[in-house]
Every structure is written in C-alpha cells, then in structure tokens.
Amino acid sequence: MTNILNSSRITVLVILLVVSGWVISGPEKEKDATERPLKQSEDAFTVGFMALTPEKKAHAVKVSAHVAANRSVNVVAEVSGKVTQLVALRGSAVKKGDLLLRIDERDLPERVKQAEAQLKRRQLETESTRNLFKRDLTNQSAVALAEADLAEAEAILTSIKLDLEATRIRAPFDGIFDQRFVEAGEYVSPGMELVRVIDNRTMLIKGVVSENNIYSVQQGANAFAIMPDGSRVNGSLQYVASSASTETRTYEVEMKVEDSKTALYDGQTATLSIPQGEVNAYLISPALLIITDTAGLGLKVLDKENRVSIVPVEIIEAGTNGIWISGPSPDQRLITVGQGFVEPGDIVNAVENAGLSPKQPTKQPAQKKESDEAAE
C-alpha cells in the first residue's frame, strides 16, 4: 500500500513538472482584451453629416428701413394773433411762396405807413444837414446824428414790414401741404407750429446697419428697396454715417430714390438692400442653426480630422425648402444628426447621411467588446 501511494505522488509531481515546463516554454500569453487601449474612433460619439454643396447666390446687406421725404418742415408762427383765413387745403400740392393761411394783421398796415412817413422825414432832414455842412453852417456831429436817425427809421420800417409779412404763412418750397395744426379763429403766439410742408419730389429710404456690415456699404453705391406691396424702387446711397449711435451702435444710411414710377409716402416701411455681389450659398434646414457665443448665428461642422467646430453664418434668403446661408467653406461637412451632443473640439465618428437619432447610444460597453473578441 505504501508503495502504491508513493508511486501516485511521484506521478502527480511529474505531471506538475511537465505542465509547468510547457507553460514556461510555450508561446507568450496573449494580452487580455481589456488591457488594450481603445482607439479614439471606438470611443467617440457618432454623428450624421451631409456634404455642403455651394451654389452661387446674389448677396446683399438687408436692413429694415422707412420712407422719408427729402425735406419736411413745420412752419411756426413769428407773430401773435388769431388765424383769420385758411387758404390751402391739406394734401394739396403747393409751390414755393404759395399762401397757406393768414394771421390777423391788426394795425400793422397803418404802422407801415407811419414808419414810411417817418423814414421820409428823416431822409429830408439828413439831406438838409449834409447841405448845411457843405456850406460850413453846421458841424460833422450834426451830420452823424442825422444819419443815425435815418438808419433807425429804416430799421423800424423793415421790422414792421417783416411782422406784416409774417402774418401770411407761405410754403417754404415746392411740395405737399401735409398738415395743419391750427384752426380758424385760434390764437397763436411766436414759436407755435402752424403747418407742415413736405418736399416729396425727392424721397429717401432711411435705415441703419450694424457695425459688422458698415464695411460693406459705401456712399454712392447702388441700392434698392422693396416696399410693402412688393414693388421695387432703385436708387443710390447718398449718406453713410461716420459715427455710430451711442444707444444702438448702429450707423445711419440713406438711399436717394432715383425713379418716380412708384408712389411713395413718408413713413412707409421698406426693406433696404445693398448688393454685395455673388457668394457661395448653401441650402439648409433652419433647425440646424445655433446661437454663437457672440450672439450671432452658426453651424456645427466637421473638419478633415472629424473634429467639431462652429462656423459663423449669415442668412441670405428664405426658400420653400429651407434657408440659404453663407459662411462655411465647400470642404466642410455639416453635422445633421447629433449636433446637440457634441461640443467644439470633440473628435467624432462621422457617418454620411446617417439616419441616427440624436438619443441613440453609439458607444459600446467594454464588456461587450471583450465578448465579441473572445467569440472571434
């Protein structure tokens, strides 16, 4: 029995030695799959993209604007008195100097006659004093005093005539008698607004451009405006502000209308367009637009290394199937699926025209990777 047990022990020891030797001398054990570093593409989020295809589109700087008359003047009273007559009708065309209304003249006509008589007397006195001086019968001081009295009489007559003329309110230029702010019998005083006259022979389209677009507009550049009824009026920029508004940081621009085929009215809204030539444009869904850190519009795109970046864009026009934008370059790819789950700088897996849902997980668990590799 003892011999049998010793023989069994020897057999076990031999087997252990053989196995140990085979393990030591055999091929190197393959590294466990969990110890292998994962590739970046295996650990990255998967997004869908579409290749951007540019088309040439006419581009213009567009601003909200309004129609304004070249000149608009509120005529004010220069004398006191009651309105005695309304001559012109509101909305009628007037010529420069046309009478619009009258203010009570009071005693001004009589004062004019009195001042004229006083002036004539001063003229005779001055002439007589000058003759006496020539005959050495008076001195230079008497002549100067007479001439001063004459100048005073002339000034008084001129002042009264101006007051008399101020009772007749006239059109300051050719245009439209647009508004009347007083009625017959109403008492007015100096500085009170009486009527408004608009020069509608030349109309302006006024708007403001942002500081980002100020470099794209120049005085004298061709422009056009689209009116509320869809009609178009052409013109050129006659004014571009050199300083910005302190409140809005925008710059005023004015387009002078050069055609008169379309009836324009002061205060109408319009869209002013300043052509900038053709640019590469892309048709996209407006849902893909994002707000950038600078409060502008942007898109998330991919570079050649599948790195996410944001490119600023500008809307050119709205179409029936989406919006046309400019900004990206033709070699960039637009992220169409999963853009809300990636940030600038992320490297992602990119699948063209992928029908993935943004919520679909694309990152496989490590255990699943190990089982797949073991099966292989």
Average pLDDT, the chain: 84
In a domain, 267, yes or no: yes
Give the count of domains, the chain.
3
Q: Which of 245, 277, 309 is the last residue of a domain?
A: 277
Domain that holds residue 260: 62-68+202-277
Q: Output 276 or 372, whichever has higher pLDDT.
A: 276
In this predicted structure, what is the pLDDT of residue 9?
A: 56
Residue type, 212: N
End-of-domain residue from the set 248, 277, 306? 277
Q: Is it the case that residue 127 has pLDDT exceeding 90?
A: yes
| 86 vs 364: which has the higher pLDDT | 86
- CA 372 – CA 170 distance, rounded (Å): 97
The yes-or-no verdict on residue 4 having pLDDT over 90 is no
Identify the top-confidence range among 34-38, 191-195, 353-357, 370-374: 191-195
Give me the mean pLDDT over the 121-144 stretch: 94
| Window from 110-124, 154-168, 209-223 with minimum mean pLDDT | 209-223
pLDDT at 365: 40
Q: What percent of the chain has pLDDT over 70?
A: 82
CATH assignment at residue 318? 2.40.420.20
Q: Is residue 366 part of a domain?
A: no
Give pLDDT, residue 131. 95
Residue 28 DSSP symbol: P
Does any domain span residue 104?
no
Q: Is the pLDDT of residue 321 over 60?
A: yes
| Contact in structure between 250 and 219 (CB atoms under 8 Å) | no
Whether this prediction's pTM lies above 0.75 is answered by no
* Residue 323 placed within a domain: yes
Task: Out of 221, 243, 277, pick the residue that ends a domain.
Answer: 277
| Residue 257 located in a structural domain | yes
Residue 1 falls inside a structural domain: no
pLDDT tens per residue, range 151-194: 999 999 999 999 999 999 999 999 999 999 999 999 999 999 99
* pLDDT confidence tier of residue 34, bands split at 50, 70 and 90: very low
- Output the pLDDT for position 105: 95
Mean pLDDT of 66-79: 94
Q: Is the confidence at residue 266, as pLDDT, over 60?
A: yes
Query: Minimal CA–CA distance to 342: which of 316, 303, 371?
Result: 303
Closest CA to 189 of 205, 166, 214: 166
Task: Indicate if the alpha-carbon torsion angle 289, 292, 295, 298 is positive or negative.
Answer: negative
pLDDT score, position 279: 85
- Residue 271 placed within a domain: yes
351 and 306, same structural domain? yes
